[in-house]
Amino acid sequence: MDISVKKRLMACALGRLEPDFVLKNARIADVFSEKLFRADIAVKDGYIAGVGHYSAAREKDMSRKTVVPGFMDAHTHLESSMTAPSILAPKLLEHGTTAVIADPHEIANVCGLEGVRYLMEDSARTPLDVFFALPSCVPLSPSDHNGAVFGADEIRRLRSDPHVCGLGEVMNAPALAAGDDGLLEKIELMKDKVIDGHAPGLSGKALQSYRLAGVQTDHECTSWGEALEKLRAGFIVQVREGSAAKNLRTVLGGALRDGVSCDRFVFCTDDVHLDDVEENGHIDRNIRMAIELGVDPVLAVKMATINTARAYGFQDRGAVAPGCRADLVILDDLNSVSICDVYKDGVPLAELPDAFPKTPAGERLTRSVHIPALRDGCFAMKAQKPFPVIGILPGSIETEKLMLPLPEKDGLFAPSGDILKIAVVQRHDGSGRIGLGAVKGFGLKNGAAASTVAHDAHNLIVVGDNDRDMMAAVEELKSCGGGYTLVRGGRPVKTVRLNIAGLFTDDRDTDVSRELREMAAAAHRMGVPENIDVFQNLSFLSLPVIPALRITDSGIFDTGSGRYL
């Protein structure tokens, strides 16, 4: 805020200059005292000029409404919505989210610096405030066969951008805890900003070392005990409720039982699909769930607003107070978080554009699937006994390690019952690398499902009960440039094309939510249980930093032992 704007706001606060408009007699959620009180809210130049008794030519009666600060998502991957930011932004604003902290490591793994710049430019075309935590682990490890490198040099080129607020989740937690020089260099480069963490299951002395390295947050707490240990070590716990990973009830439930303060909790979604946002909400869902658990409503709002603003050093947002941006959510009812209207920088949602211009995408982003012709027998596996089978856990991105005999025919693995074949095909440079394995819990019958969304290297991952359909699924995504597909009898049943890096679409005419609902319905008709999102679960099975078993183009990886099996 420059001095001229500040002086105008000060004059308005003193009653010497008329506000642009006033929200009269509002019931305000005060995130500082954690109480509700009534007052007028004077808005000038997109900021809150004063809270008290004010008048203006433009006034709106708020006597039956509750006004809260705009919500903030403390950690998200925009790419997981499967839409470009220019398409996603209006949907988030509708749900009261006015700012997000985005980690663009998904697109960085495919397209590097060019991909990150694309996301930053497309986000800047919208009124949604998108801040970026620059990727820290691209590639995740030296053994990862991804599409690009985003290292210290790339961080230096972007770190001074005003929308860069931190270093993205340091996913290779064991390496950092052991003192990895490359990761420590990146943290040193960003030491004046927030260092985000990703340390599932890290405990004891290794956790202490990880914290000492400079990591300040973590969003991977799946139990209250893990969250409490990280709180005691000084971490800010990002309480996650997304489309795949759902930890809010566990973490906040434990805090309520033990009477632990929520001052070090912030809300995040991590990965959330657009159809999930439209059906269930965004950060407003997190607040609603917290209230249903028994959290005081104002405290729940606090975790979605000022706690996040403080964590990331934002002085001009997170509260209904003078000097804060006029990012306001008007609620018909606080307890149900029923949204009546949203103001972004003092502009009501109805007066914002319905659509925003999209950013032109270069060939590297739109032609990202490079796979040579598959040969017959490329998915053949010997039927070893026992074999490390990946066990799907409904409602979780973690998996079980199951040692099971593989069904066989002529000495080869022949999927049967609920044990399916799974493969990861390297898609970035035409190497032809394929990792093979087995998975239990998808229930898919007489067909295959494939995706180019496969964290974090984002190679092509495919699961099925027969090689013919698996090969056809790979060819379908190769030909359309990436996305999701279901195949039966050698032919696509349904395909959702994701033309940007094989991760999301910039096509405003594509109704992604409808396409995803149709895809899910088709998957359930093919045997996938109702409580399993085959593509959301599939997308995490290649991420070798989440317990217990994963699969990459190098084979089955055991996160517990840190080795390929």
- pTM more than 0.85: yes
**Residue whose entry in the numeric block shows the structure tokens 């971490």:** 235
Could you identify the residue written with the tokens 């005419």?
A: 509
At 205, phi and psi to the nearest 5? -65, -35
What does the pLDDT read at residue 395? 78
Give CA–CA dist 550/538, Å, rounded: 10
Predicted confidence at residue 334, as pLDDT, reads: 98
Overall size of the chain counted in residues: 565
* pLDDT value at residue 308: 98
**Local structure of 110: helix, strand or coil:** helix
What pLDDT is attached to residue 207? 98
Q: Return the pLDDT at 341.
A: 98
Distances (CA, A) of 287 to 210, 294, 341, 443, 478: 30, 11, 17, 34, 41
Q: 10-residue block means of pLDDT along the chain (565 residues)?
A: 95 98 98 98 98 98 98 98 96 98 98 98 98 97 92 98 98 96 98 97 97 98 97 98 92 98 97 93 98 98 98 98 98 98 98 90 97 96 95 91 96 96 97 97 97 97 98 98 98 97 95 93 96 91 94 96 93
Write down the pLDDT at residue 396: 85
Asked if residue 554 lies in contact with residue 564, where contact means CB atoms within 8 angstroms, the answer is yes
Give me the phi and psi of 534, to 5 degrees please: -55, -40
Beta bridge partners of 450: 462, 485
* CA dist., res. 194 & res. 294, Å (int): 30
Distance of CA 26 to the CA centre of its chain: 33
User: On the CB side of 137, how many CA atoms lie within 13 Å of its CA?
Assistant: 26
Q: Which amino acid makes up residue 94?
A: E
Whole-number Å distance between alpha carbons of 50 and 240: 34
Q: What is the pLDDT of residue 392?
A: 96
DSSP-assigned beta bridge partners for residue 44? 47
- The position carrying tokens 């517990």 is 560
Structural domains for the chain? 70-318 (3.20.20.140), 367-564 (no CATH)
Q: Which residues contact 7 (CB under 8 A, 6 or more apart)?
A: none
Query: Which amino acid, 284?
Result: D
The tokens of 486 are what?
């279901």
3-state secondary structure 118-174: HHHHHHHCCCCEEEEEECCCECCCCCCCCCCCECHHHHHHHCCCCCEEEEEEECCHH
State the pLDDT at residue 141.
84
Q: What is the largest CA-CA distance in the chain?
A: 89
pLDDT score for 272:
92
